[in-house]
Structure 1
Amino acid sequence: MKNAVIVNAKRTIIGKKNGVLKNYSPEQLAAFVIEDLTKDLNEPVDDIILGNTVGPGGNLARLSALESGQPCTVPGLTVDRQCGSGLEAIRLACHLIQGGAGDIYIAGGVESVSASLFKSRARFSPDDIGDPDMGIAAENVAEKYGITREMQDEFAALSYQRSLDSFDKGYFSEEMVRVANIPLKDEGLKPELDYRRMLKRVSPCFKKNGTVTVGNSCGVNDGAAAVLIMSEDKAKELNLQPVLRFVDSSVTGVDPNYPAAAPIPAVSKLLSKTNFSIEDIDLIELNEAFAVKVVLFAQAFSISYDNLNPEGGAIALGHPYGASGAILVTRLFNEVQRMESNYCVSAIGIGGGLGIAVLWERVT
């Protein structure tokens, strides 16, 4: 079985809904990333796999491939596992390489909520089971597991501070491709804002007397991210240095009323099938759709926040649904080159009660 490795990873800035990226279609956003990943590649990729959640429908990956100037011979596949779509695309590409289907893939995701044609989300679950909006579902998890607002705000404040620190150090610009003349700064990050004061002042936004606020949850965003994945033999042939090696992955389901809990069984299953323990994992990137998700995850595995999203995350930067899973992997790709991390995990919880987890090994 072939080894799948990541040799490059890039993303656009993360823009607010109707913000600086509003005039770019999803295929244009994806094209900026695809063009950057392939600019020095001397042979065509076998396929481009992109995740997308809110449309506009059709085979967006093929459209993005053509928009980016790829040869007409390069196909495209669009996948939808809701806000896990970008990570699912990467997972799928890795397994395809393992199985011998191809040697070079671009995989990731893209979202433009600004350009979406749909006024409301698709259904996650049948009504008789429960189909809560994500904010209410986060409140459900907080209530069920006793996660207080203070606990959520504590982590949110940490996410904001870590993101500001990473921005000041130039870490995020290393991940980014330029979109026209737009500055390399995520639109939602505001260095001038007193985030701790803000967290104390905002009210619950999904449920009266609830615990989830605009301060301890993510925004609604536009953006794209993707990685260049190869078989390890192909990377060696092309004299490209791999950074992350795919080890294994898992997908699980939970009650759709509690999707923020889904990364826990996904990671547990992944650790079990690979004979790893949580202590073997040096670095974890977990999507911060809601702080309650991260707080519960840390409690479930009895870990601190030290190696969990150490450079910030979606609470501060935003959550462009279909791209967010690929942003997690792009972040890991850059983090492991700065940190002493041998094994790392990217994980995400998904509307409808799904969780995805992927285990990576740093290539030394």
Structure 2
Amino acid sequence: MSELFITHALRTPIGTAGKAFREVTAAELGAVVLSELADRVAGEVEDVVLGNCMGPGGNVARVAALTAGLADHIPALTVDRQCASGLAAIQLAAANLAASAAPGQGTPPAAPPPSTGGVVLAGGLESASTAPWRFWPPVGDAEPKRYERAPFAPADRDPEMGAAADALAELYGITRERQDAYAARSHERAASAQADGAFDDEIVPIAGHTTDERIRRGLTAQRLAKLPAVFRPDGTVTVGNSCGINDGAAVVALSTTGPGLRVLAAASAGVDPTLPGLGIVPAVQRLLARAGLTSEQIDVWEFNEAFAGQVLACCDVLGLDDELVCRQGGALALGHPWGASGAVLAVRLFSQLITQQNGRYGVAAIAAGGGQGTAILVEACR
């Protein structure tokens, strides 16, 4: 990649569906963050790229940009890679910005890439609370059937996410006890980070709310052990060791000039769609190979915690100590606003590596329905 930097990174608080942001649309959530970022960046905003899964359709990124007061001439693009949409939007924006900054055909090879001086705002937004209801067209005299979610793969290879997480945990021998312990730890870490103000600088207040809604201080593995399995009678996945259904937005500013987080590499990969949670594994492997780094060199790991068993399985396959992942809590505690979650991970990297100066290298990775994963590798340049 050409020299690219994440120079700013912000998000809304993450709300529980039907609660704090129950009347706030996805575009409105995104507009709050876009407006604040546009005020903070040094260069002119040239483009907006945002991920979204369950919005009203059309180009919600354009609606958010205009709602934020960005100039009419600034274009916007909406990206859908399901749960990986927010991080995929950053990956796509980085690739486009790198291409625009590359030398032209007539430029001598030894010349450095010219700097455009411009900024691209990229991330994701999601409002489960206001997601529209859709229905399949009626067949004959039958009543219309509600369209619950998009197909992620052909019907015979498209399990529900919870059932797929149960299957993944069983395949890799991830016990119920280990899942509950991991989930409790996520809440404990997030509660501690919240109390210490670790999230304060990354959050843009909205609708009178300044803190994440889902975090449960004092939640223990013993309490979680009392919850029943929800996807199959003999399963290990419960509501307690799964993420919530949430609302939120997160956006970063990308520029060809620093300081900030230098984007060293980005990668996406596919896996068996019946085990979609494993998508993190090949994305991270491809990412590290491209950058010529080993896992031991990474200081901050941010994986999207859709399910405790899923994250633990990915850590085991990667040979990564799960204690190193989401050291300030993850989506099990903070929440999982689908199309925004990948961008939330990028914001978390920025806070830990730049604001808190907790290391040099960071990796964010997220899996998506249909058997996909997206990851990004960054280096702190202060």
Do both proteins adopt the same fold according to a TM-score greater than 0.5, normalized to the shorter chain?
yes
Q: What is the alpha-carbon distance in structure 2 between the residues aligned to residue 40 and residue 358 of structure 1?
A: 23
TM-score, structure 2 as length reference:
0.89
Question: Does the Cα contact within 8 Å between 1:260 and 1:292 map onto a contact in 2?
Answer: no
Counterpart code for 1:61: A
**1:275 and 1:41 mapped to 2: Cα distance?**
31
Q: What is residue 122 of structure 1 aligned with on the other side?
A: 150
1:190 and 2:237 aligned: no
Q: Which residue of 2 is the match for residue 142 of structure 1?
A: 169
**1:305 Cα offset (Å):** 2.9
CA distance in 1, matches of 2:121, 2:288: 26
- Partner residue, 1:226: 251
Q: Could you tell me which residue of structure 2 aligns to residue 209 of structure 1?
A: 234
1:177 — aligned with what? Answer: 204
The equivalent of 1:319 in structure 2 is: 336
1:42 offset after TM fit, Å?
A: 5.6
Q: How does 1:268-279 map to 2 (within 5 A)?
A: 268-279=285-296
Query: Is the partner of 2:40 in helix, strand or coil?
Result: coil
Contact kept? 2:184, 2:219, Cα under 8 Å: no
CA apart distance, 1:304: 1.8
Alignment map for 1:196-345 (pairs within 5 Å): 196-232=221-257, 235=258, 242-337=259-354, 338-345=356-363
Matched positions, count? 353
Superposition deviation, residue 281 in structure 1: 1.4
CA distance in 1 between counterparts of 2:219 and 2:64 reads 39
Q: Contact 1:125–1:256 (CA<8 Å) still a contact in 2?
A: yes
Distance across 2 between alignment mates of 1:324 and 1:95: 20
Q: State the AA in 2 paired with 1:6.
A: I
Residue type at the aligned position of 2:365 = A
Task: Tell me the equivalent position of 2:193.
Answer: 166
Amino acid corresponding to residue 228 of structure 2 in structure 1: S
Matched letter for residue 370 of structure 2: G
**What is the deviation of 1:302?**
2.3
Offset at residue 360 of structure 1 (A): 0.6
Q: Is the 8 A contact 2:187 2:219 kept in 1?
A: no
Alpha-carbon separation, structure 2, partners of 1:116 and 1:303: 36
Unpaired runs of 5+ residues, structure 2, are 102-115, 134-146
Amino acid at match of 2:119: I
**Cα gap change, 1:339 to 1:297, in 2 (>3 Å):** farther
Provide the secondary structure at the position in 2 that maps to 1:18: coil
Q: Secondary structure at the match of 1:345?
A: strand
Alpha-carbon distance in structure 2 between the residues aligned to 1:55 and 1:297: 29
Shift in Å, 1:277 = 1.4
Q: Tell me how far apart the structure 2 counterparts of residues 159 and 347 of structure 1 sit (CA, whole Å).
A: 17
- Tell me the CA shift for residue 339 of structure 1: 4.1
Contact 1:153 1:291 in 2 (8 A): yes
The CA deviation at 1:195 is: 3.3
Give the residue type in structure 1 aligned to 2:120.
Y
1:89 paired residue number:
89
Distance in 2 (alpha carbons) for counterparts of 1:38 and 1:127 = 42
Distance 1:4 1:265 in 2: 23
2:122 corresponds to which letter in structure 1?
A
Give, in whole Å, the separation in 2 of the partners of 1:146 and 1:292.
9
- CA–CA distance in 2 between the matches of 1:174 and 1:134? 33
- Cα RMSD of the aligned pairs, angstroms, is 1.5
TM score, norm. by length of structure 1: 0.94
User: What one-letter code is carried by the residue in structure 2 that aligns with 1:37?
Assistant: L
The share of aligned pairs that are identical, in percent, is 42
| 1:51-75 CA-partner distances (Å, limit 9, x unpaired) | 0000210111111110000111111
Deviation string 1:209-249 (CA, Å, 9 cap, x unpaired) is 100011111000000000011112xx5xxxxxx22000111
- How big is each residue's C-alpha offset from its partner over 1:281-327, in whole Å with a ceiling of 9 and x where there is no partner? 12110000011122112212222234311000100111000000000
Counterpart for residue 238 of structure 1: none
Q: Following the alignment from structure 2 to structure 1, what is the Cα–Cα distance between the partners of residues 31 and 341?
A: 17
